[in-house]
Structure 1
Amino acid sequence: MTHREQKLLKIQTSLFQNDGVSSQLADEFARQWQAQNPQGQVITRDLGAEPVPHLDLARFQSFITPEEERTAEQKAVVNYSDQLIAEITSADVLVLGIPMYNFSVPSTLRAYFDHVARAGVTFRYTPEGPQGLIKGKRAVVFITRGGFHGEDHSQTAYVRQFLGFLGITDVEVVHAEGLSVSQDAKENSVKTAREKIAELV
């Protein structure tokens, strides 16, 4: 039996794209992971550069219309969603770089989540409640914030809840806070986050 090469999916969401601190931390993790897995593959999904469309009625109806009844436009919508989901299901490790915008995650990430949460595909409803269908993944999440909000903030809880909803429960979250408070606060916070990367890899 041949050994399958490991895959890492890096999802960055900063409006500043590669210049965002959250993107840089996620990229640093990916670089160190690549050094440990030289045969591994890193896939990048940059939601700042290529935003996922927001979910509207037409797109939602595309998901729930039976496959044999979908129009060409609906098939294109579903194929796009399937591609996003395939990136997740083929990866062993997910790394997310997430800044805080207005006390929550970027709207581009919410739109992305709306396209990968599909009943019967990535989760299913059961009498005991929803059950995630994406198993055996590890997720490392870098959350950056201009101020200080703490690890128990609803933003962090939301990301954990959504990943768990899909079945991804092995989740490590690294916070880098106070980036807009002062240069010293920013440098100290980023330094601490980078030190954590070496531990997590």
Structure 2
Amino acid sequence: MTVRLLHIDTSARPGRAGEHPHGSYTRRLSHAFITRWQATRPGDPVVYRDLAVTPPVPVQHAWIPSAFTPEAQRTPAQQATLAESDALVRELREADVLVLGVPMYNFGMPSTLKAWVDGIVRIGLTFGFDPGRPDPYMPLLVERPRRAVLLTSRGGHGFDAGGPLAAVNHADPALRDVLAFIGITDVHTIAVEHEEEGGEVLAASLAAALGAIDALVASTQAFAPAALSTREALAA
């Protein structure tokens, strides 16, 4: 049985650092992860979305009543309004491993990724709400194991937990919170820092990140059998 990967890039830079002028470090990291994965598991399907090339439509007025109308009662117009969001949710639900390239822009995630988040956090699909419970919110992506890999780049340094700038890191911590809200709590982050300084410190940070990717691919492939056995049991 194959492991299903969902690979999402979000950098506004179209190329990969070290290979293209002004290329993206997150694209380099996510490409390295997928390439390393496919070297040992070439048959695993990878669904790819480039949110910089095809950004999701931000939530607009018509989206809100459409999402909160029961599916059986939606008009054709409401179904059309939710079509992109439905596709994003379907891709996420089907994935075993989520690989996200997440550059930090002004302390947060790219706007295109925020639009993706708004499209996949859907009542009745990825989370439930029961006001009669002490905690009314219920994650719905808990029926089987999934893992998320956040591959990020930061112009400065010290943004990890415990670092001097950790309090203003609203990028990967926010994504961790969103993923946990819908039921994905197995989340791993690898970061490249010092991009604004460049030179040896940037080169060392990139080398460390690429080495960490090799180890994370190996551990994620070791995690895969449990995810697959659960998915297989649910499908039986």
State the TM-score bracket (shorter-chain normalisation). over 0.9
Unpaired segments ≥5 residues, structure 2: 17-23, 162-168, 218-236
- Matched residue SS, 2:82: helix
1:153-192 → structure 2 map (5 Å cutoff): 153-192=169-208
> Which structure is higher in strand share?
1
> Deviation of residue 18 (structure 1)?
4.0
CA distance in 2, matches of 1:71, 1:183: 57
Please tell me whether residue 48 in structure 1 is matched to residue 45 in structure 2.
no
Name the CA shift for 1:10/1:18 in 2 (closer, same or farther; >3 Å).
farther
| Cross-structure match for 2:221 | none
Aligned identity (percent) is 36
| Cross-structure match for 1:10 | 7
CA RMSD of aligned residues (A): 1.4
> Deviation of residue 131 (structure 1)?
1.8
CA distance in 2, matches of 1:199, 1:82: 34
Check conservation: 1:10, 1:96, Cα contact below 8 A: yes
CA distance in 2, matches of 1:191, 1:179: 13
Please tell me whether residue 151 in structure 1 is matched to residue 187 in structure 2.
no
Check conservation: 2:102, 2:172, Cα contact below 8 A: no
| Cross-structure match for 2:213 | 197
Name the CA shift for 1:61/1:18 in 2 (closer, same or farther; >3 Å).
farther
Check conservation: 1:179, 1:189, Cα contact below 8 A: no
Does 81-90 or 123-132 show the bigger shift? 123-132
The letter of the residue matching 1:150 is: F
| Cross-structure match for 1:96 | 100
- TM-score by length of structure 1 reads 0.93
- Matched residue SS, 1:53: coil
Aligned counterpart in structure 2 of residue 130 of structure 1, from 137, 145, 150: 137
Name the CA shift for 1:125/1:67 in 2 (closer, same or farther; >3 Å).
closer
Check conservation: 2:150, 2:172, Cα contact below 8 A: no
- Matched residue SS, 1:190: helix
Does 78-87 or 103-112 show the bigger shift? 78-87
Q: Which has the larger radius of gyration?
A: 2
List per-residue Cα deviations over 1:136-193 (Å, max 9, x = no partner).
1111111101111421233232111111111000111111111121232221111110
The letter of the residue matching 2:28 is: Q
| Cross-structure match for 2:65 | 61
Check conservation: 1:7, 1:92, Cα contact below 8 A: yes
The letter of the residue matching 2:13 is: F
Unpaired segments ≥5 residues, structure 1: none
1:9-28 → structure 2 map (5 Å cutoff): 9-19=6-16, 20-28=24-32
After TM superposition, what 4+ stretches of structure 1 lie above 3 angstroms from structure 2? Answer: none
CA distance in 1, matches of 2:36, 2:187: 18
The letter of the residue matching 2:200 is: D
CA distance in 2, matches of 1:192, 1:23: 16
Check conservation: 1:17, 1:46, Cα contact below 8 A: no
List per-residue Cα deviations over 1:6-63 (Å, max 9, x = no partner).
1111111100134321011011101111122121011111101100011111112221
Aligned counterpart in structure 1 of residue 118 of structure 2, from 99, 105, 114: 114
| Cross-structure match for 2:165 | none
- TM-score by length of structure 2 reads 0.79
Does 146-155 or 25-34 show the bigger shift? 146-155
